[in-house]
A and B are shown apart, each in its own frame.
Chain A
Amino acid sequence: MSGAEYLLFILMLSIFLGFELINKVPATLHTPLMSGANAISGITVVGAVALAGTGNENAAMWLGVGAVTLASINVVGGYMVTDRMLSFFKKKED
């Protein structure tokens, strides 16, 4: 359903959107931003599951299983460590 030109269109729009969003993040949150963004890059898991679930035990499937495992480390670890960091950030109470 989706041709290459349609995907390129999405790419262009999301790069601009990304620049707009991230430019507004203050310096104090740069480390959580980075690890949070890192967790999002684990989105590859979405592509990997289709490859890992074909049922035919060939090389492509095993590559997919490897990708699911690695991307899961990235996703779960990334979100949890970001949450842990952000739980430390407190405003001064007076």
Chain B
Amino acid sequence: MTTELMTQLGYVLAAGLFIFGLKMLGSPATARRGNMISAIGMLVAIVSALLDQGIVDFTYIAAGMVVGGAIGAIAARAVAMTAMPEMVALFNGFGGAASLLVGWAALSPDSSTFTLITIVLSILIGGVTLTGSLIAYGKLSETIGSGAITFSGQQIVNSLVVLGIFGGAVMFCMNPADPTWLYIVIGLALVFGIMAVIPIGGADMPVVISLLNSYSGLAACAAGFAINNNVLIVAGSLVGASGIILTQIMCKAMNRSLSNVLFSGFASVSSEETVIEGEIKPISVDDAYYVLEAATNVAIIPGYGMAVAQAQHVVKELTELLENNGCEVNFGIHPVAGRMPGHMNVLLAEADVPYDQLLEMDEINPRMETVDVAIVIGANDVVNPAAREVESSPIYGMPVINVADARTVFVLKRSMASGFAGIENPLFYKENTRMLFGDAKESIGGLIREFS
């Protein structure tokens, strides 16, 4: 058997393992093994690639793998679960950068036009993924402001950048010998990644991360065309499809189109004032305890605020106390709660909350009428009844968790400042809502002390 054939068969095996691994990610019971199988697939692919007879010197390959692997391993061990969104964003960016470099290195004087086009595509998508992910990382880790950055003439600048990329790409494909055009495309792709993400605010990050995830796959896919490698195409398009599906789910959960998320922040929405009737009714930890003590069915709705307050462990403690008190406790998870898809589930899983206690929005809403107390922790827009009741609201039509249907609602909130989107929340003024002001972790800590 020739080594060429062995390499190709290795790739087939690797592709099969990726597919099988992703299939096993379909259930929490098999997911961990699925990830392992996918990792074995990657190992098979890498070993197969190393059989390539064009490789004469393994020194630099080994050096790159050791350095990169060590950085990755350290980061993966050290990262806190609350910081997962920015970690994923950063890894995404590295993947994009790798595809950019592979596309670039694949350039040779005798490349066909088709190959040149795929090289440009891998450089373009890879470059946008790199800088877009770095900006997303900056916003998520708050190293740069998480707000939307807009300036007048932004659309014009963006259009010019796109035109420049297009023109540069065409010129490069016609004169591949002149590297100037290539550098222009690389530079503009990097600029475009920045320009595309800066106008998007922190609350829309679940969409952006999903989309960048998709791009990192598509970049690998384009690089696969550039170097004529089918396993890159298979793996890249699997990732691309996964990112696109998550993007769709996130957009649907916000009732917004993708272009609306990408091109307009909430800021531009008319500031039409709606009169909200009723008054804010604060509650003390003592009184909240008495209500919870008598409750038999409690639903907890977490949001990004729970992650910020690092309250997931005390939430778990409170859950146990309530259960020991004969109360049923469930969690209602909105698809866009947190800063990435499934963010809340990972945080609560880390705090030892079993996954069958975490209900999706469509599961928890029909049960809400039987709930004695709904506790909203650091969530705002995802429980805003204005989405159902106020037609002029910017979030009108967005599916939300109907906490107001519960007998009593506790809202744990730092202060009365409105949520990220700056939208008034009529929930706080409802007859059956009680506000428990203060740091979520301390408030829940207070409740726990009352119980014990």
Contact = CB atoms under 8 A, between A and B. Distances in A.
Interface in A6-55: 7, 10-11, 14-15, 17-19, 21-55
B50 A49 contact: yes
A47 B341 contact: no
A65 B55 CA distance: 13
Contact of B72 (A10, A53, A72): A72
Most chain B CB atoms below 10 A, which of A19, A31, A81, A82 = A31
A78 B354 CA distance: 24
Contacts of B73: 76-77, 80
Interface stretch (B91-99, B142-150, B434-442): B91-99
Contacts of B31: 29, 32, 86, 89
B360 A45 contact: no
A80 B223 contact: no
Contacts of A23: 245
Contact of B343 (A31, A87, A90): A31
Nearest to B49: A46
A27 B335 contact: yes
B140 interface: no
Contact of B356 (A25, A66, A91): A91
B235 A34 contact: no
Nearest to B234: A14
Main SS at interface, chain B: helix
Contacts of A86: 31-32, 35
B68 A70 contact: yes
B283 interface: no
Most chain A CB atoms below 10 A, which of B56, B65, B210 = B65
Contacts of A91: 28-29, 354-356
Interface stretch (B37-45, B190-198, B264-272, B404-412): B37-45
A64 B101 contact: yes
Nearest to A64: B105
A51 B102 contact: yes
Contacts, number: 373
A28 to B, nearest CB: 4
B346 A31 contact: yes
Given A28-B28, A46-B232, A86-B35, A18 B105 contact: no
Given A64-B101, A71-B68, A11 B233 contact: yes
Given A29-B25, A40-B238, A72-B65, A55 B56 contact: yes
A36 B340 contact: no
A89 B28 contact: yes
Nearest to B58: A53
A88 B352 CA distance: 7
A52 B91 contact: no
A81 to B, nearest CB: 4
Interface residues of A, number: 79
Contacts of A74: 68, 72, 91-92, 94-95, 98
Nearest to B45: A46
Contacts of A28: 28, 333, 342, 345, 355, 358, 360
B349 interface: yes
Contacts of A67: 97-99, 101-102, 105
A43 B14 CA distance: 10
Contacts of B55: 49-50, 53-54
B278 interface: no
B238 A14 contact: yes
Contacts of A11: 221, 233, 237
B354 A92 contact: yes
Interface string B334-371: 01000011110110011010111110100000000000
B282 interface: no
Contact of B354 (A30, A32, A59, A90): A90
Contact of A41 (B27, B28, B235, B358): B235
- Identify the 8 closest CB pairs spanning chains A and B, nearest first: A72-B68, A18-B241, A77-B72, A30-B342, A53-B55, A68-B64, A76-B72, A30-B341
Given A36-B38, A74-B68, 13 more contacts: A14-B237, A14-B238, A34-B88, A36-B25, A38-B91, A42-B95, A53-B57, A63-B104, A67-B99, A70-B101, A79-B35, A90-B354, A91-B355
14 contacts: A4-B114, A18-B239, A28-B342, A30-B246, A43-B236, A44-B223, A47-B229, A52-B61, A55-B56, A59-B105, A69-B67, A73-B72, A74-B94, A85-B81
